[in-house]
């Protein structure tokens, strides 16, 4: 989903990939038990998303693990 220069996703692992690829996380909004992640809409965003779903995007394992930890901590702390 796109919203005013932002890309929105509820897919946790896609959000982790985007964070690991240094796409700016603007905010996350929790509604009930569902978190929507808002990222900056960059020029290469469509390609990153397509590659994620086609299983062709490469990222450092450490960066991906750190992104998982960071986003989990962030979602647990959202009021």
Tell me the three state secondary structure of residue 32.
Answer: coil
Q: What is the pTM of this model?
A: 0.89
Domain span including residue 33: 2-76
- Which residues lie below 8 Å from residue 20, measured CB to CB, with a gap of 6+? 59, 60, 63, 64, 66, 67
The tens digit of pLDDT for each residue in 12-46 reads 999 999 999 999 999 999 998 899 999 999 888 99
pLDDT tops 90 at residue 4: no
Q: How confident is the model at residue 5 (pLDDT cuts 50, 70, 90)?
A: confident
Distances in Å between the Cα of 78 and the Cα atoms of 15, 19, 35, 69, 71 are 16, 17, 9, 15, 11
Domain count, the chain: 1
Size of the chain in residues:
79
């Amino acid at each position: 989903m796109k919203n005013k220069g932002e890309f929105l996703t509820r897919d946790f692992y896609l959000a982790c990939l985007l964070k690991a690829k240094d796409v700016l996380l603007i905010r996350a909004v929790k509604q009930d038990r569902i978190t929507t992640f808002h990222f900056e809409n960059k020029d290469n965003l469509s390609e990153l998303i397509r590659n994620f779903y086609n299983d062709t995007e490469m990222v450092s394992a450490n960066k991906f693990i750190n992104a998982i930890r960071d986003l989990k901590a962030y979602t647990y702390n959202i009021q």
